[in-house]
Amino acid sequence: MYLRSPIFLPILTPAVPLTALSTSLLGLIICYSGHTEFTDHNYIKHVVPWVDIQKLERTSNVFLTHTIRITTHNKERDFSMFLNLDEVFKIMEQLADVTLRRLLDNEVFDLDPDLQEPSQITKRDLEARAQKEFFRAFFRLPRKEKLHAVVNCSLWTPFSRCHTVGRMFTSDSYICFASKEDGCCNVVLPLREVVSIEKTENTSLLPNPIIVSIRSKVAFQFIELKDRDNLVESLLMRLKKVHANQPVHYDTSRNEDTTSPVFHSTSMRDDHKFGDLEMVSSQHSEESENEKSPLLNPEALIAIFQQSGSQSLDSRMSREQIKISLWNDHFAEYGRTVCMFRTEKIRKLVAMGIPESLRGKLWLLFSDAVTDLASHPGYYGNLVEESMGKCCLVTEEIERDLHRSLPEHPAFQNETGIAALRRVLTAYAHRNPKIGYCQSMNILTSVLLLYAKEEEAFWLLVAVCERMLPDYFNHRVIGAQVDQSVFEELIKERLPELAEHMNDLSALASISLSWFLTLFLSIMPLESAVNVVDCFFYDGIKAIFQLGLAVLEANAEDLCSSKDDGQALMILSRFLDHIKNEESPGPAGGSHHAFFSDDQEPYPVTDIADLIRDAYEKFGDQSVEQIEHLRCKHRIRVLQGHEDTTKQNVLRVVTPEVSILPEDLEELYDLFKREHMMSCYWEQPSPAVQRHDPSRPYAEQYRIDQQQFANLFKLVSPWTCGAHTEILAERTFRLLDDNMDHLIEFKGFVSCLDIMYNGEMNEKIKLLYRLHIPPALTENDRDSQSPLRNPLLSTSRPLVFGTSHGDVTDYQKQLKQMMKDLAKEKDKMEKELPKMSQREFIQFCKTLYSMFHEDPEENHLYQAIATVTTLLLQIGEVGQCSSSSGSFSQEAAEDLRAPAPSPDQDLVFADPGSTPQDSRAFPEEAGRGDWTVSLEHILASLLTEQSLVNFFEKPLEIKSKLENAKISQYSLKTFEMSRHSQPELKLGNL
């Protein structure tokens, strides 16, 4: 069953007996009752964009059951009587997530090909995307990995001597397995480590088996695979592609059995052992980097700056040896490479603390940074060479923070550690300028450098920033804020008494923000915090959630008795500062918080191993799938909070500069932003990257192009000129586009509207004047052609007209007096604005005539502008040089006594027989001659006609325009989309 976008969901609501709710990538569209044709856009009642939705939840009450509640800006709307509530709600969540992720990641988030065309999205596409997101999050793989297949199967697990039921996931570069029982057994097989994929004999005991062999001479047997032949064929094709990109050769020098060759990359040398842990290193990469950058650290800093503890060294080292022995036993049974079996047993070993000699290497394996390292020989060295020595804002920020990174550790009290930290941070900023450098990256990188080689630390940083903590390290730290919101919900669920006492959990979440950003490294002694990092690299963000809950539970009693947020902060800080690691071979770290050092009473010490054990036992049942679902749910609220903040800051800046009421200004902002949003989902390719830049000032974050401006201009501008409106919108856009980047921001847009609605007459005329001279009016303007044969443009007609009372007014006297006044005084505007040529003046007049159409005073306005036009033409001739005095065609002179046009004439200057080459109608000399008229001339002439003064000074109401625009903005777009893609689509086809 396909659900195309728009997806129609028949519902009943309390307010409207029968209505229809349509969902699309942009939002929810509510139609009037009784109209089942979506393409009839005139009946669209309301639109709720996803970016305006703060909460989406299922609820029920006495009157409504099976209800979905949508909250926007403290307004709630209930929809009930869905045909299938669960399915509808799931679709809504998925569409909201796609939209918000697109807004969040507009620079780096690539939509799946199936989601590129909104009119073709199906329910299957949404489900496939959700599965891909889960796959990448569960195995913490690169975002570029595309999931190809998910197959139910069983994997032979030698440690349990049975087949474990689960699912196989295949992607571009990986084969992964996850057991049906959460945490029982997971496997990650990078295709670059795979030697062969073979089908074996199908038997009743081993139905449809395949064998996947890897470099370390280990084979993985999968059985019960449906459609095995196609699956193997697809895997072999991708395996061949991976090996083609990274050529391999046989290396049997280390193998006694030469009949069983093992593939090795051409850039690989013999496997090395770190302790008893086999690792693969890149010889070519190491040699080339040593040649280019001889100063790169060849080993982890902790090996160079090993600290000596106060405890007996033998005692600490014996504990270290016991741990190493346990790990070696585990490697022998479960594997020692990235392809190892990952079970509850290894999680327990990690929770005890990884031995320091193995820590950096296991971090590489758990995060799969080792695959990136081996796949990019020489990459880091090249980045260092390209980035070092360059000075920019990012490098200045890095330099400021270098000496604040673990200053208590001897490795960062000298230039060796500082230089390595500088190189890694600068190289990463060069690799990923969208992130660049953010605070807390320096602390994390410092710890990575302690336990890993410099190049390894770089790839670990890549894994953390781009895969394990997506959207954390940017100037808005959206990812961390989403997780803080998730953390709040987990507190309410798992620690209800604490949540009840602390009414505002956002204050508590603000305290815990640094826990997530620095993985407890900034608020816990280093020798204890590295154990937390161990758990993080194995379990991902789940480890931080459960440890945070354990910390709060351990202090719940004190927190419930705290009087304010400051006291709660002190309780948590003191607790975290006194977490020790008795098994660390290094010395105990110093206090992070000096203001606690004067305590008279000794504070009880908590062992990190005990805290981590409690975290796993009490809060370790939270699955990756549950966390991802909570993230999806809370991303709506967090991003909407950012959008509200942006809006309020924009309005705060713009409101003092305009006369539009604040509530109307807010509506205008919503219209402006929504016009941008539509470009993200209905235009291909999407120009969102250029138009939305969160790093810009608030008022300039959203920008629109010429076509979008024209759409808004038609909706909200009071200067509607029929067919001429679009031309006037183009000129207005060119006038506002000061920097010529073909985009304008909200401030410019609303300032222009403010003049149209609230400006005085002279301001409005000045704006109209500027719209008809360069740069607003160009030589190539599509409406710049206007003939001069119209009788209204005759300059020789007597300037004597009868008034409505039968009196006669001699305008020649007024003209002479006006010219004298202008000669005495020159307004500042004359210096700012160039004079208007005859061609430009003709366009100016045409716009005025278009504006008067259908006005109640249309007759008087036509007569008045005819008078003013003739007057201004003669003013222009007064200053015209003799060389151009004959520039008017004879035809114009022959029109002296022609009658004035009818007010019903729509296009005053239109001449069907004229063409751009019609020299009689629009002589070339006329456009380039000395005939000019100034803004002062035009303004003074218009002031002589009271009907024109009344027209430009009458109050204009923007509210009605805004009400109509809110409906029309979406209905026209959705109607256009439906007409082009699915004209036959009707309500109720779900």
Judge contact between 176 and 189, C-beta under 8 A: yes
Render pLDDT for 889-935 as a digit per residue (tens, 0 to 9): 333 333 323 333 444 443 334 443 333 333 333 333 334 457 889 99
**What is the chain's alpha carbon radius of gyration, rounded to the nearest angstrom?**
36
What mean pLDDT comes out for the span 219-224? 96
pLDDT digits (tens, 9 = 90+) for 734-754: 999 988 888 899 999 999 999
Predicted local confidence at residue 812, as pLDDT: 55
Alpha helices in 759-837 (DSSP H): 761-770, 811-824, 828-832
pLDDT above 90: residue 178: yes
Q: Are residues 168 and 103 in the same domain?
A: no
What is the average pLDDT across 415-441? Answer: 92
**Alpha-carbon distances, residue 692 vs 39, 311, 438, 699, 970 (angstroms):** 30, 57, 20, 11, 20
Structural domain ending residue among the three candidates 244, 259, 275 = 244
pLDDT class for 287, splitting at 50, 70, 90?
very low
pLDDT value at residue 771: 94
Residue 357 domain flag: no
Residue 597 lies in a domain: yes
Average pLDDT over the chain, rounded to an integer:
77
Assigned domain for 473 exists: no
Burial category of 820 from C-beta neighbours within 10 Å (exposed 0-12, middle 13-18, buried 19 and up): exposed
**Is residue 802 a part of any domain in this protein?**
no
Residues 6+ apart with CB under 8 A from 986: 8, 36, 37, 38
**What digits encode the pLDDT tens for the residues 614-650?**
999 999 998 998 999 899 888 888 888 888 888 899 9
Q: Are 69 and 59 in contact (CB under 8 A)?
A: yes
Are 685 and 778 part of one and the same domain?
Answer: yes
Per-residue pLDDT at 801: 41
pLDDT confidence band for 266 (50 / 70 / 90):
very low
Please indicate, yes or no, whether residues 170 and 233 belong to a single structural domain of this protein: yes
Cβ atoms of residues 519 and 577 within 8 Å: no
Q: Where residue 103 falls among pLDDT bands split at 50, 70, 90? A: low
Both 707 and 842 in a single domain? yes
Q: Are residues 730 and 595 in the same domain?
A: no
Question: Is the pLDDT higher at 831 or at 968?
Answer: 968
Identify the three-state secondary structure at position 213. Answer: strand
- pLDDT exceeds cutoff 60 at 948: yes
Q: Are residues 591 and 555 in the same domain?
A: yes
pLDDT at 17 over 60: no
> Which CATH number do you get for residue 855?
1.10.238.10
Give this prediction's pTM. 0.78
CA–CA distance, 385 with 319 (Å, rounded to integer)? 42
Kindly indicate the confidence band of residue 453, based on its pLDDT and cuts at 50, 70 and 90.
Answer: very high
355 in any annotated domain: no
Closest CA to 456 of 420, 412, 505: 420
pLDDT over 80 (residue 604): yes
* Helices 746-758/761-770 angle, 10° precision: 130
Whether residues 136 and 206 fall in one domain:
yes
Structural domain range at position 38:
27-121
Grade residue 183 by pLDDT with cuts at 50, 70 and 90: confident
The per-residue pLDDT for 493 is: 93
For residue 527, what is the domain's CATH number? Answer: 1.10.472.80
CA distance 5 to 649: 34
- For residue 70, the cross-strand partners are 56, 77
Calpha distance 118→123 (Å, rounded): 12
pLDDT, tens digit, 9 for 90 and up, residues 759-790: 999 999 999 999 999 999 887 776 655 444 34
What's the rounded mean pLDDT across residues 875-889?
A: 55
Place of tokens 């000298």: 414
- The total number of structural domains in the chain stands at 4
590 found inside a domain:
yes
Of 225, 244, 263, the residue that ends a domain is 244
Cα gap 632→55, rounded to integer Å? 11
| Amino acid (one-letter) located at 234 | S
Which comes out higher in pLDDT, residue 665 or 976?
665
Q: Does 110 share its domain with 128?
A: no
Over residues 132-155, the pLDDT tens digits come to 889 999 999 988 899 999 999 999
Residues 596 and 498 placed together within one structural domain of the fold: yes
Omega prior to 407 cis, within 30 of 0: no
Distance CA 972, CA 678 (A): 12
What are the backbone angles phi and psi of residue 431, rounded to the nearest 5°? -70, -40
Per DSSP, which regions of 158-288 are E strands? 162-171, 174-179, 186-190, 194-199, 210-214, 219-223, 248-250, 263-265, 272-274, 277-279
Using one digit for the tens of pLDDT, what is the confidence trace for 315-331?
667 888 999 999 999 99
- Residue 798 pLDDT exceeds 50: no
Average pLDDT over residues 217-238: 94
- Does 163 lie in the same domain as 90? no
Percent of the chain with pLDDT over 90: 41
Same domain, 192 and 105: no
Q: How far apart are CA 262 and CA 624, in angstroms?
A: 35
CATH code, domain with 48? 2.30.29
- pLDDT at position 692: 66
More confident residue, 809 or 140: 140
Residue 85 in domain: yes
Q: How far is CA 582 from the centre of its chain?
A: 44
Is residue 403 a part of any domain in this protein? no
Mean pLDDT value across residues 351-375:
94
Same domain, yes or no: 155 and 60: no
pLDDT above 50 for 836: yes
CATH number for the domain spanning 216: value is 2.30.29.30
Which of 104, 121, 138 terminates a domain? The answer is 121
- Is the pLDDT at 588 greater than 80? The verdict is no
Higher pLDDT, 235 or 675: 235
